[in-house]
Amino acid sequence: MKIATPFGRSLALLAPVATVFAGFAQPAQAEWTGGDGQPTAPLACDGSPAEVAAVAYNGGAVANEGAKAGQPLKVVDVPKLIGIGYFDSTSKGVLKAAAELPDVTAITDGPTQANIDEQITLIDNYNPSGIDGILFSANDPVAIAPVLRKALAAGINVVGYDSDAEPDARQWFVNPSEFNGVAKSLIDELAADIGKDGSFAIVTSTFTTPNQARWIAEMEAYQQACYPEMTWLETVEAQEDNILSFNQATTLINKYGEELDGIVGMTSVATPAAAEAVTQAGLCGETAVIGLATPNAMKPYVASDCVRAAVLWDTTAMGYAAMQALHAAANGTLKAGDTSFAAGALGTLQILNGSQILLGAPTVFTKENITNYDF
């Protein structure tokens, strides 16, 4: 492996675009830790299932717990941002669950860019408005925590999905897939495209966005254990911005040339943008693209054979599960110590890591199955 620490070279490697995208370069770090200092737990290279240890409930406590049981609920869903397919689909899931549940009214309201300050302000403005529940996907796990704790202290039920906050700042978190499971899927699919000794780079949102940072930490651990001959060239930030993601992917293509065998997109925006960059560069079949993306965004690139596969979970189901969890928490049917959760039409979902509801394993979308999905 030529570069064991992909994050460590970010400052130098981003220099050509630093004048355009000021503030993205980060100081060198000795090790990529996912921005949270947590240890990694790479899955076995042969796919053997990992043992999951029981963990005591570690979520937050809502004031006057049980006070809203049997009462109508007004819920606001605050994703990282609105106006992109990924969170349009989670919102559809929230509204679907709300329509099935008794006396639940739900709306989605979020920032138009993945900006944590805007997200905090939005939640803070809803806190005194008489709402009964907040659903969220955090732009920053630490920065968002105080305003969520404020909501809990006011008797507002709080459930996260997609991207978590500090555990005590919410009651439950719907984990779309375990971080090490996503990491394994991405690296295995990447290896299928570029070989066990190929070179690749990553386009992510920010280095501190909690879910993406943790996926990258687990990807590094799994790649080093199972594909040690791979070369990790660079990790760059692109927010959740389509133009910036395209430009960052294009910069990687121009910088590394034939050395760049593949690009991994860590967001539903970055992956199709990278595929478009490869398409416009005339490198389909030479520079592979793999990543997290909604199937609708990737259908043109899969159909053209520029992308072989994309990875994701059912985002509509994730929003649905989050709304079901909030309703159950408010009514006392989901409580500390539970090991499973009845999530309406999704059936029974497993609870792990103290207060995480596991949606399930990620889906790999290919030409054989991608047309079966519409989100």
Mean pLDDT of the chain: 90
Q: Where along the chain do the CATH 3.40.50.2300 domains lie? A: 6-51+178-312, 73-175+314-359
Q: pLDDT for 220-269, tens place per residue?
A: 999 999 999 999 999 999 999 999 999 999 999 999 999 999 999 999 99
Q: pLDDT for 142-166, tens place per residue?
A: 999 999 999 999 999 999 999 999 9
HEC sequence for the chain: CCCCCHHHHHHHHCHHHHCCCCCCCCCCCCCCCCCCCCCCCCCCCCCCCCCCCCCCCCCCCCCCCCCCCCCCEEEEEECCCCCCHHHHHHHHHHHHHHHHCCCEEEEECCCCCCCHHHHHHHHHHHHHHCCCEEEECCCCCCCCHHHHHHHHHCCCEEEEECCCCCHHHCCEEEECCCHHHHHHHHHHHHHHHHCCCCEEEEEECCCCCHHHHHHHHHHHHHHHHHCCCCEEEEEEECCCCHHHHHHHHHHHHHHHHHHCCEEEECCCCHHHHHHHHHHHCCCCCCCEEEEECCHHHHHHHHHCCCCCCEEECCHHHHHHHHHHHHHHHHHCCCCCCCCEEECHHHCEEEEECCCEEECCCCEEECCCCHHHCCC
Considering the segment(s) 6-51+178-312 as one domain, its CATH architecture is 3-Layer(aba) Sandwich (3.40)
Q: pLDDT for 84-101, tens place per residue?
A: 999 999 999 999 999 999
Mean pLDDT across 317-321: 97
pLDDT of the residue at 208: 82
Higher-confidence position of 177 and 34: 177
Q: pLDDT for 107-120, tens place per residue?
A: 999 999 999 999 99
Using 50, 70 and 90 to split pLDDT, how confident is the model at 34? Answer: low
pLDDT at 320 over 60: yes
Q: At the fourth CATH level, which superfamily is domain 73-175+314-359?
A: Response regulator (3.40.50.2300)
